[in-house]
A and B are shown apart, each in its own frame.
Chain A
Amino acid sequence: MTNTTKRHLARALALSTALVGGQALAGGHAIDLSGKTVEWIIPFSETGGSAKWANFYAPLLSEALPGAPTVVVTFMPGAGSTKGANFFQDVEYEDGTTIFGSSGSTQFPYLLSDPRVRYEYGDWNVVLASGTGGVSYLPADLAGSLGDGGDATPLAGEDFIYGSQGATRLDLVPLLAWEMLGLQVEPVFGIEGRGDGRLMFERGEANIDYQTSSSYLSGVTPLVDAGTAVPWFSFGALDADGNIVRDPTFPDMPTFKEVCEATAGCETSGESWDAWKAFFVAGFPAQKMVFLPAGAPDNAIATFTQAFQDIQARADFAEISAARLGVYPQLTGAAAQTALDSATVVPQEAKDFVINWLGERYGVVLE
């Protein structure tokens, strides 16, 4: 079976599940949560991006669920989010009052076989997948020396400094991209959030950086307007067939793929490209997902799916979400399942390549 047919099959399967769920709902079997409290576990601290995302959805979800339960966000930080995920793995479905919000930082240790991971995405039931994108940008003087179409060749001799949270985090995607473009980037580790990385760029200590879409819009656009930063490329977005296309939030920006094609030393095929794409797909288009625990019955899944669909059907959704989530698909039902698959099922070769690259380039050993 080829990959595409497999995907089609999965989609058809998931679609029928969703339909069944929909019918169950129509028959009045939706779970009723009146008077209950839905606990939404976020495996990070109150201060991160996942907290922003959950805090955005929580009051909306409370309105949309049958019986209007109280939705509280519970923060369970620790061990790079694996602690909260391990905890959720042990949660058994009871009455739909426990849900979990995972992030790219939960997905990457899972993909890289981190020894602390004791959770299995296959056991959980996805009800929402929120995507995002990323943009790499440069100081104005360096951006000026780029070749046609963002050709990176003229920057080959430059000494780049990048404020990074760690090579095994989402930073893996930009670090690998820059390396493929032939850049000498030295990551300065130990910063605590991407905002600190941007600050380092603003202070002139770092001379290359990336931000996820919503942070780019709020934090970097003013720098671009002031002429101190110039966007270079976006990571792109996925179309329905899994191809990388221009990011709908940044339609005027070339994608990494285009820049790679314009750069002589960079290949858009072969094992490093495949690995980059696999980890980009795992980290960005389905970065944040909401799960019900293992063993959740179909009507519970359908109830939550319906709730998230209702939220997106709100007349003011586009307006209230644009600034906080960016213009990205908020997938439910079958589409969410497809997104989950593409985010957590990565070819072994890509994993091996990245694990090997992390070891050789950064001395990271994942035993």
Chain B
Amino acid sequence: MDVFLTAMPALSDAFAMILQPHVIGYLILGVVMGLCIGVFPGLGGIAGLSLLLPFMFGMEPVTGLALMIGMVAVVPTSDTFASVLMGIPGSSASQATVLDGFPMAKKGQAARALSAAFAASLFGGLVGAAFLTVFILVARPIVLLFQTPELLMITIFGLSMVGILAGRVALKGIVAACLGIMVGTIGEGASSGALRMATYDLPYLVDGLKLVIVGLGIFAIPEIIALLRQDKAISDKANLGGGWLLGVRDWWANKWLSMRCSLIGVVVGVIPGLGGSVVDWIAYGHTVQTAKDKSQFGSGDVRGVIGPESSNNAKEGGGLVPTLLFGIPGSGSMAIFISAVALLGSGQIEVGPSMLKNNLDFTYAIVWLLALANVAGTLICIAASGGISKLTNIRFALLAPFLFMIISFAAFQSRQEIWDLVALFGIGLLGILMRRFDWSRPAFLIGFVLSAPAERYTNQAYQIAASRFRRGFDEGIEYVFSPIVIVLIVITLISVVLGLRQAKNIQAEGAVNAGSKRAPMIFLLALTGYIALAYWNSAVIPDFARMDRVFPIFVATVGLLGCAIMIVQMIMKPETHDIFADREAQEADLNTYGLWPTLAWFAALLVASAIVGFILALAVFLLLFIRLRAGKSWTYAGLYTVVGIGFICSLAWALNRDFPPGILQSYFDLPWPLT
């Protein structure tokens, strides 16, 4: 009862704070700004938020908060556009949405997928806020129960989702995940700073690859290239009329699924240290496991959209708990959020343990502003989805250069070096080949995302447990096998067993026929070669840095075992076996253009950028691509180029970003945007 006695007055204070016309006005302004940025894949809210900061100074706290929260809240909503319409994961929050959302768009059901996603988002956001209102009062001791072994188990549970997404040949999925983990270990080890598959001569690799680049490379580039080769529009059917109403009805039919996934989102979001990177995969896994008819997942089942989207907005609410209660940001945008609150409160409001005691009304205002921003953002998005989904009817050759421009720009924000583009291209090539030979790209991505936390928590749990065992056996066991850990182990085991049993029926990326033996074999051998090289590279890490050696060695061993079994299988099995899946053979009739000529366009853009800088290279690329590949007139191509360059420059100018320079720029000082 105590809880409610403190909560009720604070809650009514909070609503009195929020429900003022000018506060709502600023909230909607923030929402609109957030939508404008969030629509472009890869940019996310951080860029926009850090841009707002200078204007925060001297603003009334609630108005400033409204503006900022409006912006943060709608990014996981608006990035759904890119995921569903283009197959590009707009941010880490919408990776799983791609799996079923994009096939739906291809079938002409873009509006339906979008509105189902938005309805689920809205619902998830509201469930999250309602849950938090009560939970935030009792959250502190519960969150503190999640020690390192518990965090490690959640990470492993996340990895177990690979089981569901592995595809028809489970072993392939496992090796893909191992490869993802190995790519995630590239760079300086977190524990002793030993280098793995990197050298100080190439500083780019020392910091490792960023999720933006890997996400865009592994999902977006293969889809763009594949669509370009077929030279048609994304959707092969005309849009179905009234699609968006159908989507809302879909959501209503699955409201309990949506509810469960929202709760998954809040709970995982609440735990500090994991952020939201796994939540949508766990929600997707849950959706698949609890569905009766699994045959449509991966080729456009609306439930595959509703599940992850319900969880990712709820997660934003959950992420407020570590941020507000412990002062530990769950994500980059939350970190900026903390410093903005300090700026706004000018000393009176400090994010951290004292927040609940001294500013409970303010805390509630934040929670419900977030919910309100979700409502406003979703309504705008649903209203816009019918129109925006018409993009899927445009001939793709006209859309692709524009997408490439945006993706390159987003990738370049990672480290602001030309190497960002090289990495994007390299990972993109890997993605293309994985798609062709039906290696699970979701499994790869889950491995990559969870690589760092898995290694970190393994090492830390090992170290702390060793210290506990030195103090006494009982104390050690108590630490390692807490009730939460045991429950998580049971859940993980059930999920793995079920997942592997069902995996054969779930083709997360659609069905693929087998082709010839040679090409899949060469690809497998190449992957084996990389993992073996990474194994050797880790094995030579000297003893004093052994903490950085153990994890990659272990993962590479698992990967190599998988590879070895598969090589034997490939030799034994006939050509028609699933293991030889090859999309190239299957899509031969559909493809108008070859892979390499299509890819050469983008390789040329990359090389030209390295020589004359991004903007000059881009201008030439746009002009020639539209003229030669899309076959439009020079006037059309010229106009397209002017609009494209103008657009990207104003975006960069608004966000205060530069473009990748080339060799030319190191000899001549050129004015912005050519710098």
Contacts and interface: CB of A to CB of B under 8 A. Distances in A.
A45 B332 contact: yes
Given A78-B207, A190-B460, A161 B351 contact: no
Nearest to B342: A324
Given A73-B50, A319-B347, A190 B459 contact: yes
Contacts of A83: 203
Q: Which 3 A-B pairs have the closest CB atoms?
A: A363-B544, A47-B335, A190-B190
B354 A218 contact: yes
Interface stretch (B164-172, B280-288, B321-329): B321-329
Report, as a range, how many residues of chain A touch the other chain. 35 or more
Given A46-B336, A55-B339, A72-B656, A218 B50 contact: no
Interface in A179-214: 186, 188-191, 193, 195-196, 198-200, 202-205
B635 to A, nearest CB: 36
Given A47-B335, A48-B335, A205-B148, 12 more contacts: A52-B342, A71-B54, A161-B463, A186-B467, A198-B326, A199-B272, A199-B328, A202-B144, A204-B144, A219-B326, A222-B357, A323-B347
Contacts of A320: 346-347
A74 B354 contact: no
A323 B656 contact: no
Contact of A323 (B272, B342, B456): B342
Contacts of A70: 54
Contacts of A60: 57
B512 interface: no
A322 interface: yes
Interface in A207-233: 215, 218-219, 221-223
A89 interface: no
A46 B332 contact: yes
Contact of A203 (B144, B329, B351): B144
B350 interface: yes
Contacts of B434: none
Contacts of A202: 144, 326
A51 interface: yes
Contacts of A186: 463, 467
B343 A222 contact: no
A364 interface: yes
Interface of B: 46, 50, 53-55, 57-58, 144, 146-148, 190-193, 200, 203, 206-207, 272-273, 326-329, 332, 335-336, 339, 342-343, 346-347, 350-354, 357, 415-416, 455-456, 459-460, 463-464, 467, 470-471, 543-545, 547, 656
A56 B343 contact: yes
Nearest to A319: B347
Contacts of A77: 207
Contacts of A79: 203, 206-207
6 contacts: A55-B54, A56-B343, A186-B467, A189-B547, A199-B326, A218-B327
A189 B46 CA distance: 27
A188 B353 contact: no
A218 B352 contact: yes
A159 B547 CA distance: 20
Nearest to A159: B467
Contacts of B336: 46-47, 51
Interface string A20-45: 00000000000000000000000001
Central interface residue in B58, B351, B352, by most chain A CB within 10 Å = B352
Given A47-B329, A78-B203, A223 B342 contact: no
Interface string A314-349: 000001101110000000000000000000000000
A153 interface: no
Nearest to B328: A195
Contacts of B545: 363
A75 B329 CA distance: 18
A186 B191 CA distance: 13
Given A79-B203, A189-B547, A46 B50 contact: yes
A319 B547 CA distance: 46
B630 to A, nearest CB: 37
Given A116-B200, A199-B272, A323-B347, A363 B54 contact: no
A203 B342 contact: no
Contact of B415 (A71, A78, A191, A322): A78
Contacts of A51: 335-336, 339
A218 B545 CA distance: 35
Contacts of A66: none
Contacts of B346: 319-320, 323
Interface string A224-254: 0000000000000000000000000000000
A323 B350 contact: yes
B54 A62 contact: yes
A219 B327 contact: yes
A357 to B, nearest CB: 14
Given A78-B203, A79-B207, A222-B353, A52 B339 contact: yes
Q: Which of A46, A83, A323 neighbours the largest number of chain B CB atoms within 10 Å of its CB?
A: A46
